[in-house]
Amino acid sequence: MAIHTPIHYRNQLMYSVFVRNFSPEGTFAALRRELPRIRELGVDIIWLMPIHPIGKQARKGTVGSPYAISDYRKIDPSLGTVEDLKSLVSDIHALDMKCIIDVVYNHTSPDSWLAQHHPEWFYRKPDGSFGNRVGDWTDIIDLDYSNRALWDYQIETLKYWAGIVDGFRCDVAPLVPLEFWLEARRQVEQVRPGCIWLAESVEPEFIAHLRARGVTAHSDGELYQAFDICYDYDIFNTYRDVLTGKQPLEVYARAVMAQETMYPANYVKLRFLENHDRPRAAQAIRDPKAMENWLAFTYFQRGMPMLFAGQEVGADHLPQLFEKDPVDWNGPADHTPLLKKLRKIKADPLMADSTYTLKALPRDVLLAVHEKEGRKLVGIFSTRGEASYLEVDLPDGTYQNLLGGTAQVHEGKVATDGAPMILKQGETEI
């Protein structure tokens, strides 16, 4: 892993914003007005999806995907100006948060500034025309990192933005050479010490598919050499299979535990139930108590939890990537009180530095434990939202449930009403 990655990233919360669809205005200025509310959720890092101009050639939809960038060094005028971005970041900093922006370095729009001025920096199909290696990404063309001059341009661009923001979320990072990311990190560190690097790592199936075609596709284990945080996509499909009944919960629990030994000891995973590329969690998790449990488990997990804007109100509509499609903030739920409690629990140093274990119990209950030097946090999460009576490794007694109320452990067992429970041993027994 990146040697200097702070383990306390596991105590922090990220919030993802699609600026265009965050508000009816879709601007930096509109987002600024909401920053106090976002900070109240306990957010530490705001990630802005791509903020650059969108290409017109081969555009999908009316306004196009923000991931089909036409100029890495400019701002999409519909969002505001560079000065507007600086004002936004200044306000974010004033509220003791950090800001990272999306970096989309695998490809550009077909009519990008780079395609017009440096066509020699692009991948070519056998017939010599521009193209991409994935195929169904019809609104973009791939860059070719065998050109070292491209490295210089891209790194200089990163250094420019690092003078404004605190880090980068790197789109499909596994498709860009690892050596490039290592060099970029080294140089950017001189401009922004402690720069945050988040990789959109990809599913194992996608890695295998690309490698079979001779395409660069790095594993999470490789990416941790250059990145602080990797996506949870290595087990995300298993999570979705559990929700749809295709796989039992124990398969997911084993997949989570496998991460504990396959990655470096200080690995940080981005834990989420949804994002801009995947369906809203509320589409699949309809039971309110089940949703509370999955949210609580996301925070309790080893790693950094992430909220996708609108998730806090239970939004079940995923904003379209190619259209103006604002979040409906009149969602059917208000998870804010629960999320605030979870954020306080997440700040416990034990959540970052512990022995972590997870197992699936009967009736689809997840039992997770953080433990170190006599201190223990025990999380009980019913993924069905149903009452249960189960064994826990705690001495008999009365415990405070950090999410509200108390719990009685008797003969090594505890009863739950289906709501999530987090019990603490070592300091808060009553």
Distance CA 66, CA 43 (A): 24
**CB–CB of 314/335 below 8 Å?**
yes
**CB–CB of 232/269 below 8 Å?**
yes
What region does 107 belong to: left with phi over 0, alpha with psi -120 to 50, or beta? beta
> Distance between alpha carbon 282 and the CA centroid of its chain, in Å?
17
- Cα torsion for 24, 27, 32, 33, to the nearest 10°? -20
Q: What is the pLDDT along the chain (430 residues), one digit of tens a residue?
A: 577 899 999 999 999 999 999 999 999 999 999 999 999 999 999 999 999 999 999 999 999 999 999 999 999 999 999 999 999 999 999 999 999 999 999 999 999 999 999 999 999 999 999 999 987 789 999 999 999 999 999 999 999 999 999 999 999 999 999 999 999 999 999 999 999 999 999 999 999 999 999 998 999 999 999 999 999 999 999 999 999 999 999 999 999 999 999 999 999 999 999 999 999 999 999 999 999 999 999 999 999 999 999 999 999 999 999 999 999 999 999 999 999 999 999 999 999 999 999 999 999 999 999 999 999 999 999 999 999 999 999 999 999 999 999 999 999 999 999 999 999 997 644 3
HSE, CB side, 13 Å, CA atoms: give it for residue 252.
27
**CB–CB of 48/101 below 8 Å?**
yes
Tell me the Cα Rg of the chain: 22
Maximum separation of any 2 CA atoms in the chain, in Å:
74
Please provide the distance, in angstroms rounded to a whole number, between the alpha carbons at the two ends of the chain: 41
- Cα torsion for 114, 120, 126, 131, to the nearest 10°? -10
**CB–CB of 378/345 below 8 Å?**
no
Report the predicted TM-score, pTM, of the whole model to 2 decimal places. Answer: 0.97
